[in-house]
Amino acid sequence: VDASQGLKADRFWFMEMNTRLQVEHPVTEMVTGTDLVEWQLRVASGEKLPKTQSEIALVGHAFEARIYAEDAAKGFLPATGTLHHLKFPDAAPQGATMRIETGVRAGDAISPYYDPMIAKLVVHATDRQAALEALGAVLSRTEVAGSTVNTAFLAALAADPDFAAGDVDTSLIARHQTALTEVAPPTGETIAAAAVAASGAGVSPSPNDPWSSLAGYAHFHSVARRTRLKFGEDEIVAKVSVRHDGRFQVTLDKPYDDTNSRDFRSTPRLARWPGHITVFEGAVGYTFTVPDPLARADEAAAGFGSPRAP
């Protein structure tokens, strides 16, 4: 407050003293090879800073992507849900390093009461282009199911030509928002993979159950299972045939009958969680609803005019 001319409305200023580490500090640590948290503890215990500014060398380039439970296509609205499936890559591509900082694990709930950040994904490589390519690769192998997340948006941003060229300003996302948030519909292969998983045919045989390895056995022809899925408002009906050699043949009915039959030996990356199956294609997770036949039977039995137990 400047009171030299008396207290006036235009003589008040706000200054923030932010003496904590910022959320971006892993980027600094990656390019300097330092541990800033360790430095804080050393200084707090009375020691001097381990290095002076002139002794710090900047090596390579780093990116940090913050994975949030949010819906990028709806203005980045926060999302909630249970993290039924959460899996990060074991390592970065060759020539790069990565670190994952997270305080949640599979089974945890994302509530509306706290910041919905799931993880900070940080990559480091020799230069900006290599680091950006590593970021895209790591995002494409990150799997989250149970809540809407921004992983696909982050991967699209990392692949954006303007961002890749370093032509960045504060309106970049707003200018490219449609392209960055638009997700292609699932392919026939993705739908067929979900159908295999929903039918139960893709479950790995149990080593303790000799009969579980005979999922496709029949005396005269391969076993066929009919299964139903929903993707958004579309209901999908599929016939899944299990062949003797372990391959699956999937025939999809309308509205996806133009995909014809698909042959599979194994299903791609996917997650099964209550009432749903999520198939991962790159950084995009396609979530299908699996109708519960018992619930449908209960609804039919409890129709209008039917007696119901209290």
User: b/e for 176-213, b at 16 or more Cβ within 10 A?
Assistant: beeebbeeeebebebbbbbbbbbbebbeeeeeeeeeee
157, 181, 205 — which closes off a domain?
Answer: 181
Residues 6+ apart with CB under 8 A from 145: 83, 84, 85, 86, 271, 273, 276, 278, 285, 287
Whether 240 contacts 250, CB under 8 Å: yes
Query: Mind listing the pLDDT tens digit for each residue in 216-245?
Result: 556 556 667 888 999 999 999 988 887 766
Length of the chain, in residues: 310
pLDDT digits (tens, 9 = 90+) for 165-182: 999 999 999 999 999 999
Q: Could you tell me if 94 and 150 lie in one domain?
A: yes
CATH code for the domain of 79? 3.30.470.20
Between 211 and 292, the higher pLDDT residue: 292
Burial 262-271 (b: 16+ CB within 10 A, else e): bebeebeebb
Same domain, 288 and 203: yes
Please determine, for residue 304, whether its predicted confidence score (pLDDT) is greater than 60. Answer: no
Whether 248 is in a domain gets the answer yes
Question: 174 with 91, same domain?
Answer: yes
Mean pLDDT of the chain: 86
Whether 153 and 253 share a structural domain: no
> Bridge partners of 289?
230, 276
Q: Report the pLDDT value the prediction gives residue 250, as an integer from 0 to 100.
A: 85
Same domain, 111 and 162: yes
Q: How far is CA 188 from the centre of its chain?
A: 21
Report if residue 115 sits inside a domain: yes
Q: What is the pLDDT of residues 113-125, one digit of tens each?
A: 999 999 999 999 9
Same domain flag for 153 and 258: no
Query: Is residue 89 in some structural domain?
Result: yes
**Averaged pLDDT for residues 295-303:** 54
Range of the domain at 242: 188-298
Task: Give the chain's largest Cα–Cα span.
Answer: 99
Q: pLDDT (tens digit, 9 = 90+) per residue, 14-41?
A: 777 777 787 789 999 999 999 999 999 9
Q: Residue 272: name the closest of 284, 287, 283 by CA.
A: 287
In a domain, 54, yes or no: no
Both 79 and 155 in one domain: the answer is yes
Last residue of a domain, one of 181, 202, 223: 181
Q: Which of 20, 105, 265, 308 is catalytic?
A: 20
Shared-domain flag, residues 204 and 155: no
Do 204 and 294 belong together in one domain?
Answer: yes
Identify the CATH number of the domain in which residue 222 sits. 3.30.700
pTM: predicted TM-score of the whole model, two decimal places: 0.82
228 is catalytic: no
Q: Of 149, 181, 213, which residue sits at a domain end?
A: 181
Q: Residue 292 carries which side chain, given as an amino acid letter?
A: D
Is residue 67 in some structural domain? yes
All residues at 6 or more sequence positions from 232 whose CB lies less than 8 Å from its CB, including other chains? none
6 occurs within a structural domain: no
What Å distances lie between residue 255 and 15, 185, 194, 201, 233, CA to CA? 60, 13, 15, 23, 11
User: Mean pLDDT across the stretch 275-300?
Assistant: 84
| Cα separation, 34 vs 23, whole angstroms | 16
Give the count of domains, the chain: 2
Contacts of 248 (CB under 8 A, 6+ apart): 192, 196, 201, 202, 240, 241, 242, 263, 264, 265
- Total Cβ atoms within 10 A of residue 57: 9
Residues 138, 241 within the same domain? no
Would 2 be classed as within a structural domain?
Answer: no
pLDDT at 205: 58
Contact 129, 164 (CB under 8 A): yes
Does 170 lie in the same domain as 123?
yes
Note whether 65 and 177 are same-domain residues. Answer: yes
Q: How many Å apart are CA 244 and CA 259, to the nearest integer?
A: 23
% the chain with pLDDT above 70:
81
- CA distances to 93, 109, 232, 274 from 69, rounded to whole Å, are 25, 11, 19, 19
